[in-house]
Amino acid sequence: MIKLPKNEGLNIVPFIDIMLVLLAIVLSISTFIVQGKIQINLPKSESSMSLSDHEKKLLISIDEKNIFYLDDKTANLEQIKEAISRLDQKTIVELKSDKNAKFESFVQIIDLLKNKGHENFQIVTEKNK
C-alpha cells in the first residue's frame, strides 16, 4: 500500500516576520515624510531679528547639501530665477542658508536678486543665546 504524504499547510510564521519588519520600515520612513520640514542649521548672529509677517514674501532656502528650496519645495537655479523675475519690488525675499552650505550657493541667489535689481530681501539667522 502506498502512503500519500500528509498535506501540510503553509507555514506563515516567516511571512508574518517579514511583514512586521516591512511595516516597521514603512512607519519609520513615513515619520520623516510627514514632518515635511527642511532641516537647516541657521548661522548665529547678535543682531538677529524676528521674521516680519508681510503678506507678500518668497522664501528661498539652501540646505547643508546645497539643495535649493523655493517656498519649501525643491527647485533648481532656473526655477528660482524665474520666480525672482516675476516678483514685484515690494515682495520680501527671505534667504535661509544652512551654516554648512557652500557660500557659493548663497552668492548665486544674491546674484540673481542683484541682476533683477531686487533689493528687498532679508537674511534669516538665529539669535545668539
Residues 15-44: tens digit of each pLDDT: 899 999 999 988 877 766 555 567 777 777
Asked if the structure places residue 16 within a domain, the reply is no
Which set of grid coordinates corresponds to residue 34?
A: 510627514
Portion of the chain with pLDDT greater than 90, in percent: 25
List the CATH number of the domain containing 58. Answer: 3.30.420.270
Give this prediction's pTM.
0.63
Q: How many domains does the chain have?
A: 1
- Pairwise CA distance, residues 45 & 36, whole Å: 26
- Pairwise CA distance, residues 48 & 123, whole Å: 9
Asked if the structure places residue 28 within a domain, the reply is no
Residue type for position 113: L
Domain extent at residue 49: 44-127
Instruction: Indicate the length of the chain as a whole number.
Output: 129
Asked if the structure places residue 6 within a domain, the reply is no
Q: Are 120 and 90 in contact (CB under 8 A)?
A: yes
- Region 63-67: what's the mean pLDDT? 89
Asked if the structure places residue 29 within a domain, the reply is no
Asked if the structure places residue 64 within a domain, the reply is yes
Q: Are 34 and 70 in contact (CB under 8 A)?
A: no
What is the distance of C-alpha 51 from the center of its chain? 19
Asked if the structure places residue 35 within a domain, the reply is no
Asked if the structure places residue 76 within a domain, the reply is yes
Q: What is the pLDDT of residue 57?
A: 85
101: DSSP letter: S
* 121 has a pLDDT exceeding 90: no
Asked if the structure places residue 73 within a domain, the reply is yes
- Pairwise CA distance, residues 79 & 86, whole Å: 11
* 9 has a pLDDT exceeding 90: no
Which set of grid coordinates corresponds to residue 64?
A: 547643508
